[in-house]
Amino acid sequence: MGRRRKKIIKLPKKRVPTVFLCPSCGKEAIKVEIDRKSNTATVKCGSCGLTREVKIKSIYGEVDAYCMFIDSYYVSSEAPADESGEREG
Ligand SMILES: [Zn+2]
């Protein structure tokens, strides 16, 4: 009698809108989108339009990506970063 009980656990995949506080405008409008293919997280503020990409590890979640974003935000706000690429040679 090798009866096996099949247990199906249904996990409802709820999309919880994870919104974080924006360091630029101070509003809770930061959204984190994780691209698992390139291990990149796109952090975007829906209020002031601040957008930044951070490299993450595959195990990282939205919160971790947000922390990295905060780190890089304050680091780059100290040093003048020129991201436009247009520079005189
Ligand atoms: Zn903002």
> How many A from CA of 4 to the centre of ligand 1?
54
Asked whether residue 12 is assigned to any structural domain, the reply reads no
Please report, to the nearest 10 degrees, the dihedral formed by the alpha carbons of residues 55, 31, 46, 75 taken in order.
Answer: -40
> How many A from CA of 73 to the centre of ligand 1?
12
Asked whether residue 89 is assigned to any structural domain, the reply reads no
Asked whether residue 85 is assigned to any structural domain, the reply reads no
Domain count, the chain: 1
> How many A from CA of 22 to the centre of ligand 1?
5
Which structural domain, as residue segments, surrounds residue 54?
19-78
Reported as a single tens digit per residue, the pLDDT across 3-31 is 777 888 887 776 666 799 999 999 999 99
pTM of the complete model beyond 0.85: no
Asked whether residue 83 is assigned to any structural domain, the reply reads no
> How many A from CA of 52 to the centre of ligand 1?
11
Reported as a single tens digit per residue, the pLDDT across 24-73 is 999 999 999 999 999 999 999 999 999 999 999 999 999 999 999 999 99
User: What CATH number does the domain containing 24 carry?
Assistant: 2.20.25.190
Q: Extract the tokens encoding 55.
A: 């490299």
Q: Cα 35–73–62 angle (5° rounding)?
A: 35
pLDDT for position 3? 74
pLDDT for position 8? 84
